[in-house]
Structure 1
Amino acid sequence: MSGRAAEAEPASSLAAPQNFSIQAPVYGASVPPTSAPGRSLKRVLLLWLLLPQVLLWLVGGVLAYRIALSYAESTIDRSLTESLQALARQVKPLGSGLLVDFPRAAQDVLEQDPKDKLSYMVSSPPGQFVLGNQNLPPPPLQFTPVPGEPLLYNSELDGKPVRVALLEVNYGEANAPQRLRVQIAKGMTVQHRIARELVADMLLPLLLLGIVLGALITAGITRGLRPLQRLEDSVGARTGRNLSELPPIALTQAPLEVHSLATAVNELLDAVQRSVQQERRFLNDAAHQLRTPLAGLISQTELALRETDAQAQQERLRKVHAGALRSAHLVHQLLSLARTEADIQPTPFDAAALAREVARDWTPRALQHSVDLGYEGLEHLSLLGEKLLLREALSNLIDNALQYAGAHSTVTLRVSVDPARPQQACIEVEDNGPGLAQADLARVFERFWRASEAPGGCGLGLAIVQSIAQRHGGRAEVHLVQPQGLRVRLLLPLAA
């Protein structure tokens, strides 16, 4: 048999005394306080939905006021320009002087509205008062009037804002040129009031619509958050109940996000139930299986204490020692079984190298049993899984073979790729011992089932192997070997 491990390195044996610690689950323990709750989800949603509306309403009001005011100013500018040109036509050059044909009726029309009257001034040369209101403000320094072109600017008259239109006209003889300035000013108070009224007429309906929209948004958020409230009530109703009897949360009508949250909570509840059931099963199995060995240890100890013959007492102590070893082996198997049912953190590793290492570790034990233990197969094979658990599975398979194959038998550990399924690794342990009856093959992976009453086993080794294979997404199989013997195979998915 090629590739056999012949090194007699120290092996980890179950015969050595071991210390075990079993911790039972503590139910009803105090829960550490969580951090202080943040702001309400409803309040946050209302803030992010209603605050932008208020801001947009305010910005819209400012823009509407500016637009209305610009339209009012453009209307004033057209009116002032027309009035300015009409007034300029009434001032006619006469030789080196001016003829002002401005009837009283026209002046009364300009000044008839005391709140919105037009003020005018005629000056020649510009700035030297001739007619009208001599308090009209001159143009700002940055403006330079161009003869024949109206100039419009904002200013103040008697402390009130006004819009002023200015026009300068050249007249006189060529050898004595002169310039005439005509100004008309109109107050902006009425226009500002009209703009405010227009904006108010626009924004008031929008404000009412915003209030109605805010009420609808509040009602919609309240209704939309009801599934969360139902979920909270459903989870709260499970508080204080038996952890192994937590029914899943059912939400018939809820948004997709709440369904996803409920699904996550259900997965958590399922994981809690599995963990509780696993711990209870472990405690039940440990209590049931340890009861008989411990009772035997107590009986043997009592008999040894009453024994007066030293040789008989030594025999009793040897039985006590053997019983203690069996109990230690049972506890080790129970702990291994509990560990295999926990979640694993898969990492890539070389299964072939691991198998050779396990074969070397068990070589001294095989030599003690007069068994030829060897390895055959690939040099390297990458798997994705928990290396420690797979080592436990291989150790259980080799231990089982050494226990039942008998002296002078052959045990072979193989690692290969399943030819029928190229995506699966095949790890098997084969012996040429007496094997099993065909009828017993269906029960080999049951917990605490034993095909033989020979001392040393507890019926958990192959159950642990099957559990580890399933946790890795594979399975374990058992086959009879002709003419005699047994082969246990682990079929595991290869690493991508």
Structure 2
Amino acid sequence: MSPRAGLSLQRQLLLWLLLPQLVLWAGGGLLAYRFALSYAEKGIDQSLTQSVRALARQVKPIGSGLLIDFPKAAQDVLEQDPKDRISYMVSSPPGKFVLGNQNLPQPEMPVEQVGTPLLYRGVVDGKPLRIVVLDLDYGDDGSTQTLRVQVGKSLQVQQRIARELIADMLVPLLALGVLLSLLVYGGIRRGLAPLTRLTSQLEERSVIEREPIGATQAPSEVHALVKAINGLLEEVARHVRQEKRFLDDAAHQLRTPLAGLISQVELAQQEARTPALLDRLSKVHTGAQRSAHLVHQLLTLARSENHTHRVPLDLAALAREVAREWTPRALSAGMDLGFEGEQSLMVKGDALQLREALSNLIDNALRYTPGGSAITLRVERSESGASLAVEDNGPGLQPAEMAQVFRRFWRGSQQPGGCGLGLSIVREIARRHGGEADVQTLAPHGLRVVLTLSETD
């Protein structure tokens, strides 16, 4: 199971830099709204206090009665705006309605001092109000009475003022926050640019290149990373060179004795006189040829896993050339080997490895297809880039065998000469070219092995 990829470094930096900014902006907006409500309430309280005192001055005691000099025009002015209505009530004694809006609620707490306004909250018709009450004494010394004047104002005004203040404050802050976020994003991209360049250099270079990766104008942390990568690449390149020398030495040390053994056996077969000796020499010759083929395949597989040097090449021309090389063997086996497809198809690939893959596929088709069959080498364009296929009209494979064909050392037939590595090499070469190898059955019978290459030039 492959590990799950986490957030990129750029996204993590953006998250840790912009998330606190968003939290602070939201918290600041909430505090600013509360402050705006508080200041708006203070303004309303001051206005209500002035209104209740002005209204109280319009109530004049006359003997043991009251003269309320509050004309109808003044009442209309107080109540003309339904969204900002100022309600009032005059009562004497307190709570006994005389004038105004008798729905104004009385304060829950007693008025402690006559002549001092008391502010409280109430609800009228389901709407919250801010109310001020002022008690005054009037009358003679022997018959003192208390007059209560109340003035209330809707809190919708307070909320509207708070919203306006918040809009005036937070909209510019939001614009500044967006600008700051863009600056932070640009700074992070600029700061991570050395890592992007380092990634491009690593993707474009080969592990056997000796020149170190440059990291000019990069932060010290990136310099340390580049130094570590250069050391690692140098170590890998050293091992690759050692392995390449070993493979070359092994190829020479193994092929030469096997070639000599095959030659000596062939000479012995010419000089042998008895059928039993000829039979034994034939088995030795077959085993030596199979060993030589196995050594060649093992070395090819090892080399294909080491390094792929991809350069622009004409895949169709390469396929036609390989087909011409194998035509004499196909004719000697009584088979028809042909080429079909594009006349020219440029790809990025390793010519030696692609030639080896095609040779393996043609060799398998010639080895396991009966005489008189037709083998077709086909080069076509595909959605991913290019496809390279070898088709035959032989017996093909059983469905249970299709999933096993790319396993190393698996053989679909016990005919002499094969070693079960050909298709493994083909698949490895396809993957080295960013593609894949697949095997398909043909109707009414036959087999098709396809290599897909991911890049065209």
The TM-score with structure 2 as length reference comes to 0.49
The TM-score with structure 1 as length reference comes to 0.45
Q: Which has the higher contact order (CA 8 A, sep 6+)?
A: 1
